[in-house]
Structure 1
Amino acid sequence: MLGKQPVPSKWLRKIAITAAVAVVSGLASYSHSYAASPSISVEVDGVLQQGLVPTFQHGNTLLPLDSVASAIGAAAEWKGDGKSVTLRQGKRTVTFTAGTRTVLVNGKSSPLSDAPKITGGKWWIPVRITVEAFGGQVEWDKASKTLDIVPRLHAYSANGKWGYVNVFGDTVVSPQFDEARSFSEGLAVVKQGGKYGYANLQGNIVVTPQYDTAYDFSDGLALIVKDGVSGYVDANGKQVLTPKYDELFDFSEGLALVRSGDLFGYIDHTGKEAIPLQYEDAFYFSGGLAGVQVEGKYGYIDRTGGTVVAPRFQSVADVSEGLGLVQDDGSFGYIAAAGGYAISPSYAKAFPFSEGLAAVENDGKFSYIDHKGKTVITTEFEDAGNFHDGLAYFVKDGKYGYIDAKGKVVIQPQYDSVEDFDHGLAVVIKDGAASLINTKGISVAKTEIPAEDSPAPSAS
């Protein structure tokens, strides 16, 4: 696998992405014209957009044009008469014309079920076709009634400088930074003049580079280090917390892990100690639980600090898809959030669940199991990874490739090193050269191999 990255977390965020579907499939009751629903929430890269409410017109989900443009990092260009507008991001364009039931995507006409809605001089445009035209993704969470717009921009490097491309390989932000990170909550860590700051989706610096170290945003806050002092800043760059502990970690699910001496605990967004420092080791919260160590054994606590799974394991991992990976008497298995075994410990190696499957190994052979412990893919691979964007890496004869969820090889083993797919692209290295490939194995952008001079912080 690729080594540690030049700033303190993975170059590409590891988030499982559900395949985009037409949002209206979950919103059939809003198929009539101009129906709005305050009960629907809108997020951009996981951040709730206060006061932004979609409308539904003839099967389309619509949002204000300026909101969609901002969400994907596109610029709006108006024609002189104001009856036509083009959204542009790099070389890609989407053009809407008032009263016209077609849209031009990169100059090619595509039909719309209805024309864009214009109310009080404000344009409302269909979300899905616009976002996907720029390589972004629209996710619909039926349970929470949340629409999330995911921009899907990727850091890449050329001639020693870093910028961003979309999933098509189009340059969106030209290489201009000394270092650049993937986006988290709409902002990305960038480095200029030896200091770290934050840039937005348009590549504009929104928090001036001034930090010795900077981390991804999580729960609305980012951990930074300036002049040897650690603290947390908000999206405007305002330092809101400077807790006095020996070590600070990212926020997760409303709490941040902290350490003083040999003990770990958790603080809330006000800096108050929400769970006392009493653990020998501790992890981030995931799925409402966090792994902790007491008297040499690991278990799980909830966000109140209550013990959910008594410490009795050799090791644990973050809860993923409702199951926690644990090691008991040398073997690995999975427990449910309630604490009982969902899958008995019977594997020599195992990995957390991702996209419904988990990689496990016995007798040197890797396979994949489902949530019930049923083997759904058997392999002869030397190594195998988790599924992301529908693909998992594998190793055969010392080379890396990718399989799909049915175990079919879709990208032949040919790489010396790879990363998991993330937001539609993966970093691969072949013959000493790094590139970004799409899920078909096609290289969309050349890049450079990141330096290995600043390991990521760990909560374990």
Structure 2
Amino acid sequence: MEEKLKKLNELAELQKSGTITQEEFDTLKYELLNPIANFIEEPKLEKTDKLLDLEVIKTDEFQNIKSKNFISRPKEKRNISYKTVGFSLLGVGVLITLFFIFISRNKTLVPFLKANGKYIFVDSLTMKPQNNDEYDNLDFYSDGLARFERNNATGYIDNSGAIAFTIPKEFYSHNFSNEVAILSRLGGQEYYLINKEGIIVSKNYKDIDGFSKDNNLSVVKNEVDSDEKFGFIDNTGKEIVPLIYDFANSFSENLAAVGVGKTVIRVDDGLRIFKGKYGFIDRTGKVVIPMIYDEVGYFSEGLVRVKLNGKFGYVNKEGKIVIPLEYFDCSDFSDGLARVWQEKYGKTGYIDHSGKQVMGFNFSGARDFLDGLAVIQLGENKWGFIDKTESIISSTKFDAVGSFFSGGLATVGLGDCCDRIGELMAAKYGFIDKSGEVVIPIKYSSAYGFYPNGFAIVAMEGNIEDGQSFYIDKKGREYREK
């Protein structure tokens, strides 16, 4: 096996340098590893990591903790050599949020859901298990740590494969991003930031929105003089923008929407609705666009949608109106175009940055463009893709489609199944390429899009979260548990 991995690394270098194509690399890798994987034989490694009993250190209800480490840490570490970079899988409930991954020739670990409902780590190149360790839940590596749940304990695994630390049972932890993770007390509005040493670095807030790779400021919420107010902190817990606003959104292109006004509670469902005016601040907290708008979006491609007096249009970062406020509704820009609606047409069209109508109001339903393609409705509950010339790339009308291509392939489905969370689901799923050709047959009962490591999770029966899943590559070859 060691010789095969050496050869695989050589092939990866050839592909990386352009000597062979990705398709040739996939084929040669398949022939080398013969990987209808079947997990032929799991390594018989002795477990050396043990979870400690969790004990919470009492510290004044965690108010303004800066230096105390209340996280349980293991005394033993396993010395397993591999490198990881990754993306984040949130929860058993199949909500997967993908983060950017750079796949090098080194091994990368990804979670795999076994038929017994337990998770293990597998090598992303060979899809072979790394060891016998099973988890009740296991996330993808994010920011160098992977979140796990096992035996009613939660914690993080580091790049060496050892348990970095565990957390108290009455708390829920989130994935790391920008060197910190959010820690929240179960059943209560109590949120903190922890660093990679398991040390709390922020005071208690009623909510923390979170960080991303390109955003080092997070929205936070707390009570100020009996009112809920919003501001921003950095990943050290320092308050950069004071909690003085009645509304705040995350930063996008270095500007964030904030608002002042009244928040009302809707009678029928208790939802809090902000009724006030919106504007934008920069990262220093300076107001750069006055709070005069009734509704706003996120800055994208230098423009943001705004609503005033019942109509939508777009302003730039100086607050200048560059596309007139004349639309019934519109979307943020994506891939150079934005969706717009006019009430008199009752359909969707697309405009460019100048406000020029590049596609008429021809679509009963449409989604944003991404990589030159957009999902559009082709008939009653039928969907497909168009390019920017308004050409339909596939003659097949699908009952369900993924919103974007991942690794050059998009998930599509045929056959009515059910209505789930307001979205029509399909009976069977497969994959098409950007020419519209079905390249992986529509035969799976459930399917996720392809990850950057070149694999997708699918199931032949039931749902992926039921433990009926396995991996496929872009050739449709199956990587199953034995």
TM-score (norm 1): 0.58
Deviation string 1:361-409 (CA, Å, 9 cap, x unpaired) is 2222111211111122335322111123433222231123222333222
Q: Report the counterpart of residue 231 of structure 1 in structure 2.
A: 192
How far 1:209 moved relative to its partner?
A: 7.9
Contact 1:389/1:423 (8 A) holds in 2? no
How far 1:185 moved relative to its partner?
A: 4.5
The separation in 2 between residues aligned to 1:358 and 1:225, in whole angstroms, is 37
- Structure 1: runs of 5+ lacking an equivalent: 1-76, 110-135, 137-147, 452-460
| Residues 241 and 436 (structure 1), Cα distance of their counterparts in 2 relative to 1, 3 Å cut | farther
Q: Report the counterpart of residue 315 of structure 1 in structure 2.
A: 295
Indicate the SS of the match to 1:283: strand
* The structure with more strand, counted as a fraction of residues: 1
| Residues 366 and 101 (structure 1), Cα distance of their counterparts in 2 relative to 1, 3 Å cut | closer
The 5-angstrom pairing of residues 18-417 of structure 1 reads 79=3, 85-87=6-8, 94=11, 105-106=25-26, 108=28, 150-151=102-103, 159=115, 184-185=142-143, 191-193=149-151, 197=155, 212-226=171-185, 229-234=190-195, 236=196, 238-251=198-211, 253-261=215-223, 262-295=228-261, 296-362=276-342, 363-378=345-360, 380-396=362-378, 397-411=380-394, 412-416=396-400
RCO greater where, 1 or 2, for CA within 8 Å and sep 6 or more?
1
Question: Which has the larger displacement, 436-445 or 221-230?
Answer: 436-445
The separation in 1 between residues aligned to 2:179 and 2:381, in whole angstroms, is 41
Indicate the SS of the match to 1:270: coil
| Residues 106 and 414 (structure 1), Cα distance of their counterparts in 2 relative to 1, 3 Å cut | closer
How far 1:323 moved relative to its partner?
A: 1.0
| Residues 304 and 244 (structure 1), Cα distance of their counterparts in 2 relative to 1, 3 Å cut | same
Deviation string 1:81-113 (CA, Å, 9 cap, x unpaired) is xxx93346xxxx82669xx9966835659xxxx
Q: Report the counterpart of residue 458 of structure 2 in structure 1.
A: 446
How far 1:359 moved relative to its partner?
A: 1.3
Aligned residue pairs, count: 328
The one-letter amino acid paired with 2:363 is F
The separation in 1 between residues aligned to 2:327 and 2:137, in whole angstroms, is 40
Percent pairwise identity:
31
Question: Which has the larger displacement, 431-440 or 369-378?
Answer: 431-440
Contact 1:326/1:335 (8 A) holds in 2? yes
Contact 1:335/1:343 (8 A) holds in 2? yes
| RMSD after superposition | 4.4
Q: Report the counterpart of residue 123 of structure 1 in structure 2.
A: none
Q: Report the counterpart of residue 32 of structure 1 in structure 2.
A: none
The separation in 1 between residues aligned to 2:159 and 2:376, in whole angstroms, is 33
Indicate the SS of the match to 1:267: strand
The one-letter amino acid paired with 1:250 is G
How far 1:324 moved relative to its partner?
A: 1.2
How far 1:275 moved relative to its partner?
A: 0.8
Question: Which has the larger displacement, 391-400 or 289-298?
Answer: 391-400
The separation in 1 between residues aligned to 2:124 and 2:357, in whole angstroms, is 33
Indicate the SS of the match to 1:105: helix
Question: Which has the larger displacement, 150-159 or 387-396?
Answer: 150-159
Deviation string 1:167-208 (CA, Å, 9 cap, x unpaired) is 99x958799765566765466655555665556899997665
TM-score (norm 2): 0.56
Q: Report the counterpart of residue 431 of structure 2 in structure 1.
A: 437
The separation in 2 between residues aligned to 1:405 and 1:202, in whole angstroms, is 46
The separation in 2 between residues aligned to 1:401 and 1:271, in whole angstroms, is 45
The separation in 2 between residues aligned to 1:435 and 1:157, in whole angstroms, is 19
Deviation string 1:238-270 (CA, Å, 9 cap, x unpaired) is 234232221111125221111113210111222
The one-letter amino acid paired with 1:321 is E
Larger radius of gyration: 2
| Residues 270 and 96 (structure 1), Cα distance of their counterparts in 2 relative to 1, 3 Å cut | closer
The one-letter amino acid paired with 2:377 is V
Contact 2:399/2:413 (8 A) holds in 1? yes
The separation in 2 between residues aligned to 1:221 and 1:213, in whole angstroms, is 14
How far 1:279 moved relative to its partner?
A: 0.9
The separation in 2 between residues aligned to 1:156 and 1:401, in whole angstroms, is 31
The separation in 2 between residues aligned to 1:165 and 1:402, in whole angstroms, is 34
| Residues 403 and 187 (structure 1), Cα distance of their counterparts in 2 relative to 1, 3 Å cut | farther
